[in-house]
Amino acid sequence: MLIVPSDAQLAIPLLTQVREQRMHCTMFVLADTEAARILASKADVRAEHHPYRKVVWAPARSGLEAAPGYEALVTKAVPGVAAIAMTFDFRFACSLAEGEDSFLKIEQAFILAMQATA
């Protein structure tokens, strides 16, 4: 799991690498709360040992808002959205609402992101 630093200067190079790497569908977990930590941890378990999945936890929006190419993700990151799944070609696939942290919901989000690319 990649944890995005809140300092935009440090976050931008990392986020650029994530966006440009077309080998993963990526789940972005948003917010710096206990619920977000739990969701990020569970998503990381679902991504572990899976070569096409990546989890990025962004506790602060500042890095995402400053990174080029993240406009679509930031637009979808409205209040109540806990995570956003992006396709291999970095398009929006689906989102998870706050409280949708079951392994089944996380798995479904990853599958939707993988299918949306095909």
- Decide if 90 contacts 69 (C-beta within 8 A): yes
The H or E element that residue 108 is part of is helix 103-117
**pTM score over 0.85:** yes
Range of the domain at 9: 2-117
Count of structural domains within the chain: 1
Q: Chain centroid to CA 7: how far?
A: 18
CATH of residue 9's domain is 3.40.30.10
* pLDDT tens digits, one per residue of 43-65: 999 999 999 999 999 999 888 99
Question: Can you give the pLDDT at residue 118?
Answer: 60
* pLDDT tens digits, one per residue of 71-117: 989 999 999 999 999 999 999 999 999 999 999 999 999 999 999 86
